[in-house]
Structure 1
Amino acid sequence: MSTPTRQLVDLLEEHVGPLVGTRTPAVGAAIVRGDDAAVLAGGRPHKGQREIADAHTAFETGSLTKTCTALLLAEMVAHGDVSPTDPVETHLPRHAHPRPGKAQITLVDLATHTAGLPRLPRNLFLPAARNWLSDPYARYTREDLYHATARLRPGRFAGTPRYSTFGVGLLGQILADAAGTSYPQLLATRVLHPLGMDGSGAPPAIAPTTPHATGHHRGRPVGHWHFDALAGAGALRSTATDMLCYLRAHLHPEWLPPTLAHAVRDVALPRHRMSGPAGASGTSVALVWNHRHTHGEELLWHTGGTGGFTAFAGFSPTAVAGVAVLANTRPTHRDPVLSAARRLFRSAVFPK
């Protein structure tokens, strides 16, 4: 009879192992169930190139960063630095205040995608057009973000979940401004280092010795994405080992310092029912995380992607189980990486 940890290794090899060397040069994955955990990482030659990856290789996580920004908000609330109901004007310079509307935008609105903001700032498209597929956010500055915020008029979509990279990126910048530092440094100090995620970071706040996977699109290497003012929406790079720390923190808040423990519990609370088919399926939004109850278990998950990377993380506080999958290939329609990650998540939460 196999041991519990061996069973988890088998699940990783079953669901994630086949990805390596097909369309995905390298993968890092983690799984935890109860007190047991396992990590899988590796790379194979791909079109004449060898991608060497292990459990300490960093991958871009894209929008998984948003879950870290939500945790950062909850931690700063627990610490008394900000309030979730603070209007954004409280933490913005006067020239960046949104125009008067039917409602004020609060920090928690940004974290639950209910502020009525568009998916991306309108003034991002023109300067990013030349690098839209290769590095679209690199030159989007804080002043660009402030200019976009000043043109907002809250009202039309306020109160209804509407996914917004603009909103969570703005939240990350506001939190950094409130703390008087940069988003990468704030995230490292208040979240990543306390969780033991020392190989992770939003550049430049990442250990210089951390090896990085090379992103790929249609089998060809691509450059890394860089973030300026929207770092809170997509800048995090992380490893399989660190994602295991991240999962364990969300499953065992009692292991954490008091403010982080309170924050981890707070981010998992469902806040707003999703509209449309997602809402009909019982999906809600917590602080950034998607949330659903199914077959007696509570599920939270999020995905991420950049020009050369795909990421998934999900956990169940009730089943005390979670998974994370990082891959160095751009997301595609019917993405095999996300499909494998979701199957792995189901297997972790609902063992046969």
Structure 2
Amino acid sequence: MKDVAEHARVSVSTVSYVLNDSGPVAPERRNRVLDAVRVLEYSPNESARSLKRRSASTIGLVVPELTNQFFATVAEGVQKAASARDVLVVLCVPDATGQPEESHAKLLRGQRLDGVVFLSGTGTLPASILELSRFGPVVLVDEQIPGFDLPAVACDSRRGAREVARHVLDQGHRRIAVISGPSALWTAQQRLAGYREAVAGAGMDPDEVPILVGDYRQASGTALADQALSRPVAQRPTALLCANDLMAIGALEYCKSAGIRVPEDVSIVGFDDLPLSSLITPRLTTVRQPAHDMGYKAVTALFDLLENKESELLGLLPTTVQLRDSVAPPPAGSP
């Protein structure tokens, strides 16, 4: 800025007024400053400006993977909200590097970030993220981590799971199996609780419903569907409640390979409403959660916290059941 001021024959404060549009400057002086900026190819130091203004210029985003469309859509929401504020997003994807969340958290800690949006793939909070939370806001997305009082933007997974399970039960299904997510994750716990509530509401014993624990990936849905359905027709479930769409798609894949018709022989539901879920055959009945909105609201909440404002965006967002083609009444004669 001193070089620009010397070239334009004005004071440094005048350059600041022009660049930040923060004070009155005569048109002739403004033009001289802008000409100097072009000639010298001046680019402001955003880190320095951030310290000066006490406002954010760079935030971090930790997301488990981007091959899962849900996480990618959350990341898009984060990027859109950050771009609207001219804020840079430092992206860390543990699965892409093979390094644990803790390694990425340590990397972010050294970047002098103004805040972090964190999507846990393990249900735990790395020590370095906890350290970051002492110096700037850390907002969780799609998870709440017990024992840590961190702000979070998530969906009402319990209600969504309860409603989609109730739809399956209303079709007459009584032999049901659950393909759950990782037991350490809050989302998996909430969805399992919702399924159990629906089963209890139908007069059944939730403890008698088989629970097969997956990892939210498609391959685990395929393997667990094999485990659930590789038994005599009279004994196998007539419906699978899958805790996310990728595992439901894996279950559909298994059924096609095994000659099991969906939904004529087995009904399958998912959770997330990935874009792919309405394109596959049969189209997947699932629970929609607003992934893009969660990412966007997480950044907005982070800025509210940076400005010492009480954010109204934290909490549980609504989910909606998307009724499609993968659910039908159980086969005739099923108990």
Higher helix share: 2
Identify whether the pair has TM-score above 0.5, normalized to the shorter chain. no
Q: Which has the larger radius of gyration?
A: 2
Relative contact order, CA 8 A, sep 6+: which one is greater? 1
TM-score (norm 1): 0.25
